[in-house]
Amino acid sequence: MTISAAAGPRARRLAGVVMLALVTGCASAPGADPRDPWEGYNRGMYRFNDALDTAVLKPVATVYRDVLPQPVRTGVGNFFGNLGDVWSFVNQTLQAKPEAALHSFWRVMVNTTIGLGGVLDPASEMRLERRREDFGQTLGYWGVPPGPYFVLPLFGPSTVRDTVALPVDIYGHPLSHVNDVPVRNSLGATQIVNTRASVLGAVELLESAALDPYSFQRDAYLQKRRNDIHDGNPPVDTERYDLDEDAPAGSAAPAGAAPVK
């Protein structure tokens, strides 16, 4: 697949970051979490992203939430959700999921027409369930392993597999094909701010409750991606992220260890 001119520079930058992490990963400390062998780099990038969010994105999202009434913000979220359904349909087709693909197809048709371009969401009232899919999930569905956890600048939590898939996701999203650059950038910025505004309360609660927000975010992301790829029903021993080797038969599990799900 050819990457567009707009997505090309982003893809090259992402590739450079991946290569840097792969090189620095060779110096991982013995006994490092096998899910997160580049934890030193990842924690540094997490702090960078968090500082940027605190200084720029969170204040803007707070003003956005306070100025715009909830129905307007809901309409904005519906609009971008409808665009995302287009890319979900493509990935569901690539994953050979005809029922899910039909749901996404009819969601787009109903919301684009009856829903006034996606601002309204009558498809949900018709019980057409939204099932988000991206190219990282498609790769995982066909057996590509996730690789180590990896924090991207600006984009945040990822894995090597999801990072490789990201340029395809950028290119495949309908916003990438808006030819008017100022309009495309304005829509992209609005989507980011609207998404951040929708999770302001949840993020603050998690940050105050978690002893180590970095570890909490990492574990939540890896678990969510595993569930996403297996449609909420991950099989045992698939894409495991255990911290230790399997214990010998008959030996006791370490204290506090949770069963593999």
Segment 123-155, tens digit of pLDDT = 999 999 999 999 999 999 999 999 999 999 999
Return the bridge partners of 152, or none: 156
In a domain, 113, yes or no: yes
In a domain, 165, yes or no: yes
Structure tokens at 198: 């929708």
In a domain, 243, yes or no: no
In a domain, 255, yes or no: no
Is the confidence at residue 250, as pLDDT, over 70? Answer: no
Q: Is 8 exposed, middle or buried (0-12, 13-18, 19+ CB in 10 A)?
A: middle
In a domain, 119, yes or no: yes
* pLDDT class of 222 with cuts at 50, 70, 90: very high
Find where tokens 């605190």 sit: 54
The mean pLDDT of 174-191, rounded to a whole number, is 96
Name the maximum alpha-carbon separation found in the chain.
64
Mean pLDDT value across the chain = 84
* pLDDT class of 203 with cuts at 50, 70, 90: confident
d(CA 119, CA 126) in angstroms, rounded, equals 16
Is the confidence at residue 261, as pLDDT, over 70? Answer: no
pLDDT at 30: 55
Range of the domain at 178: 69-229
Dihedral sign for Cα 152, 226, 89, 75, please: negative
In a domain, 247, yes or no: no
Please state the domain count of the chain.
1
Question: Under a CB-based contact definition with an 8 Å cutoff, are residues 120 and 78 in contact?
Answer: yes
In a domain, 95, yes or no: yes
* pLDDT class of 219 with cuts at 50, 70, 90: very high
Q: What are phi and psi of 118, to 5 degrees?
A: 100, -5
Question: pLDDT tens-digit profile of 7-19?
Answer: 444 444 544 444 4
Q: Residue 132 region, left (φ>0) first, then alpha (ψ -120 to 50), else beta?
A: beta
Percentage of residues in the chain having pLDDT higher than 70: 79
HSE (CB half, 13 Å, CA atoms) of 217?
25
In a domain, 135, yes or no: yes
